[in-house]
Structure formats: C-alpha cells, structure tokens
Amino acid sequence: ALSQTTQHINKTQHCKTLPGLVSSQAQLCRSNLELMQTIIQAAREVKKVCQKTFTDMRWNCSSIDAPKFLPDLER
C-alpha cells in the first residue's frame, strides 16, 4: 500500500515496484512523478485519520493493512 512505502519516487521504473498498484495506477504514477510524494503522504494521512476516527468501531480501517496479509492467506 502506498501509505507504507518508504521509497522516494523519482524515476518511472519506481512505479513498477510500488506494492498494490494496478496497471492504470502505475501508469498514472509514471505520467505524474512530480505528484507521487504528495500522493504517498496523502495516503499516510488518510490512513491515520481513518484509524483515529473509527478507533472504537467494529470497522476501524484495519482493512487498509490487508495487502500485507496476502502471504498468510495464500498458505
């Protein structure tokens, strides 16, 4: 997920290595490199606000972390 990347996106080949992007998102990344750091920061902020807002509710944004659960689900 973009909110978890530590990579600085400054070359088009970096867009291929971002976890969780579908092809249209990777294409958007390649054509808008100058915006990617802002988009990544926005993803982090959205995750933080979502988790804070829904912290005491059954749906508490934990699905944001779902992509990292995939290896366990594939076993």
Consecutive sets of 10 residues in the chain, 75 residues long: mean pLDDT of each?
Answer: 71 83 90 90 90 83 64 55
Q: Which residues are CB-contacts of 35 (< 8 A; sequence separation ≥ 6)?
A: none
pTM of the model: 0.67
> Residue 9, by phi and psi: left (phi above 0), alpha (psi -120 to 50) or beta?
beta
The pLDDT assigned to 65 comes to 65
Domain of residue 69 covers 2-73
Q: How many structural domains comprise the chain?
A: 1
